[in-house]
């Protein structure tokens, strides 16, 4: 049974059961959850409301809209693009098809940052009252904005090669009241300052890897690169070697299978690995 074969005004329970069945048949593992998210978003309610009002009739206009969103999900459009946002580190970030969807793995960068940053802020000769942090390839801005909100003393710049992505990052910064600078740049090319910390979730997926159909809807510019997925990260490592302050930090995300070759490459560029957590690796630039 398709969504369109339901009555034009079904009750919540029937719409959810039908939608969940269709998504499950399509091989989507989160079928029940996705059905609830779509309907709750369409009705401007939370998911708890759906469970509390299973016999409530959905009016025809809302049903039509919910069915259209269900069809998008059946085409493997990610839920985040359908509802327009994704949660990251406890905050909602707007996303569009111009930005990569924030993933839980990227939160490891913030976890490592929280371990490193107090070393830069504490008193002493190496202390930096307002460290310069640049989020390279910011996309939706989730990493740099989160860093600024968790550590207001940071002076944060968000950069991306995509102007459309930067518009989304700027929107998120305003919505979340994060005082950050926005810069259009290919990696560090247009950044004139000497940052104390660089964070980056750059493209690291090789085109030959197995991946979910949902990634076909994400921007290829933010996902794929050459040289077994290492090309752009290696380029950033080279730039960071000449841009970072002495004893500055570079924190990047990469697939765990890529960590070893990246560590070996970074060592040749005067970096030493200081932390690894999940998908994230932190390097410290050796002072000369």
Binned at pLDDT 50, 70 and 90, residue 4 comes out as low
Any idea where the domains of the chain sit in the sequence?
3-75, 99-285
**Average pLDDT of span 249-274:** 96
Binned at pLDDT 50, 70 and 90, residue 129 comes out as confident
Q: Is 78 helix (H, G, I), strand (E, B) or coil?
A: coil
CB neighbourhood size of 31 (10 A) = 18
Residue with tokens 């070697």, as numbered in its chain: 241
Taking the whole predicted model, whether its pTM rises above 0.75 is answered as: yes
Fold for 99-285, please state it.
Answer: Rossmann fold (3.40.50)
The CATH classification of domain 3-75, taken from the options 2.40.50.140, 3.90.180.10, 3.40.50.2300, 1.10.8.10: 1.10.8.10
CB contact at 8 A, 15 and 66: yes
Residues 144-175: tens digit of each pLDDT: 999 999 999 999 999 999 999 999 999 999 99
181-184 and 155-160: which strand pairing? parallel
Q: Which of 104, 70, 60, 73 is nearest to 86 (CA)?
A: 104
Helix ranges, the chain (H): 12-25, 31-43, 47-52, 60-74, 79-83, 107-121, 142-150, 163-175, 220-223, 231-243, 259-268
pLDDT value of residue 123: 47
C-alpha to C-alpha distance for 138 and 117, rounded to whole angstroms: 19
Residue 257 has pLDDT above 80, yes or no: yes
Percent of the chain with pLDDT over 90: 89
Residue 287 has pLDDT above 80, yes or no: no
CB contact at 8 A, 251 and 282: yes
Phi first, then psi, for residue 87 (nearest 5°) are: -80, 140
């Amino acid at each position: 049974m398709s969504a369109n074969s339901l009555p034009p005004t079904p009750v919540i329970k029937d719409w959810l059961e039908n939608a969940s069945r269709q998504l499950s048949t399509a091989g989507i593992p989160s079928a029940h959850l996705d059905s609830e998210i779509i309907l709750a978003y369409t009705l401007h309610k939370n998911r708890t409301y759906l469970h509390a009002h299973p016999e409530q009739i959905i009016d025809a206009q809302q049903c039509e809209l919910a069915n259209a969103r269900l069809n998008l999900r059946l085409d493997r459009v990610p839920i985040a693009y359908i509802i327009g946002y994704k949660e990251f580190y406890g905050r909602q970030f707007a996303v569009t098809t111009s930005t990569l969807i924030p993933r839980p793995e990227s939160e490891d960068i913030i976890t490592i940052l929280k371990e490193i940053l107090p070393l830069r802020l504490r008193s002493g000769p190496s202390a930096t009252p307002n460290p310069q942090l640049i989020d390279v390839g910011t996309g939706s801005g989730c990493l740099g904005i989160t860093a600024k909100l968790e550590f207001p003393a940071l002076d944060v710049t968000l950069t991306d090669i995509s102007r459309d992505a930067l518009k989304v990052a700027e929107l998120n910064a305003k919505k979340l009241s994060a005082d950050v600078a926005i810069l259009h740049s290919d990696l560090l090319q247009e950044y004139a300052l000497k940052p104390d910390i660089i964070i980056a979730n750059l493209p690291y997926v090789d085109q030959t890897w197995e991946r979910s159909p949902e990634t076909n809807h994400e921007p290829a510019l933010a996902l794929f690169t050459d040289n077994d997925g290492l090309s752009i990260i290696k380029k950033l490592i080279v730039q960071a070697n000449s841009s970072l302050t002495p004893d500055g930090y570079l924190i990047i995300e990469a697939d765990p299978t890529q960590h070893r070759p990246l560590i070996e490459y970074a060592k040749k560029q005067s970096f030493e690995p200081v932390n690894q957590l999940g998908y994230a690796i932190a390097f410290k630039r050796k002072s000369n």
